[in-house]
Amino acid sequence: MADGVDFTLVGIDSLLAKIEAVGSDMKKKGGRFALRKAANIIAEKAKINARRVDDIATGRNIADNIAVRWNGRVFKRTGDLAFRIGVLHGAKLKDHPDKAKNAPTPHWRLLEFGTENMRAQPILRPAVENNVAEVINTFAREYEVALDRAIARAMRGGGQS
């Protein structure tokens, strides 16, 4: 059910050259920072989409439950940096008595994927698909800035020794 989105990056030779110039610790730290910035773009677009389909008459608000979380499991297993973007309490489809703001919104899945009686009104998928270029550009720009800072820091530290 969960299918991924794969990308191929072309034309980022200057970024790749800078990555080679710094240590693996900075690669991960700068990469995590840049990846979070890119993930936040998707989360914001998903919140806009959620507000479009949310029922304002109820206290439950899907947009308030959209979150970006560090994926430590993928990092520990493969060493790859990863964030998860989704809806809090997303896998629970049971009744919850709390109807206040930020209460669980189990109905988001029904809106995202549709049912046999209702067409899908996607929230997360369009946030990714419609903003690929902006997300990639943000990641590349932020990562390059972080790498520039790390290289400058290394040069200062190396020159003082």
Query: What are the pLDDT digits (tens) for 44-71?
Result: 999 999 998 887 776 678 888 899 999 9
| pTM attached to this predicted model | 0.76
* Within-domain flag for 115: yes
* Within-domain flag for 160: no
Per residue in 107-138, pLDDT (tens digit) is 788 888 888 999 999 999 999 999 999 999 99
DSSP class of 158: H
Residue 83 bridge partners (DSSP): 70
Instruction: Find the domain containing 114 and state its range.
Output: 22-150
Give the distance from CA 71 to its chain's centroid.
10
Give the CA distances from residue 145 to residues 21, 74, 83, 94, in Å, rounded to whole numbers and listed in that order.
14, 25, 20, 45
Residue of 57, 118, 113, 117 lying closest to 90 (CA atoms): 113
* Within-domain flag for 104: yes
* Within-domain flag for 14: no
Number of domains in the chain: 1
Torsion of CA 37, 43, 49, 50, to 10 degrees: -150
Query: How confident is the model at residue 147, as a pLDDT?
Result: 83
